[in-house]
Amino acid sequence: MTAQLKVGKRILHLRNDLGLSQEKLALKADIDRTYLTGVENGKRNISIKNIEKICKALEISLKDFFNDNLFDLN
């Protein structure tokens, strides 16, 4: 699984946990909704700035975001 897809899956999981729609998360993170859709589908090679924006909107630190088995092995 690509790193992009792992990040996408993690965002989707956290977003659902918070009961947020893509639209609401995109608004909160100040990113384009269609971009967020692409990120969640693993289609976007997302930058660290945008990962941080999404983490802030999900109210999670970068440390906790990547603290998941998805990111165990390279």
Does the protein bind a copy of itself through residue 11 (CB under 8 A)?
A: no
Does the protein bind a copy of itself through residue 19 (CB under 8 A)?
A: no
Does the protein bind a copy of itself through residue 66 (CB under 8 A)?
A: yes
Residue 59, C-beta contacts closer than 8 angstroms, at least 6 positions apart: 18
Long-range contacts of 18-26 (CB under 8 A, 24+ apart): 18/58, 18/59, 25/54, 25/57, 25/58
Does the protein bind a copy of itself through residue 7 (CB under 8 A)?
A: yes
* x-or-dash string of contact with a copy of itself, 36-65, rule CB under 8 A: ---------xxxxx-xx--xx----xxx-x
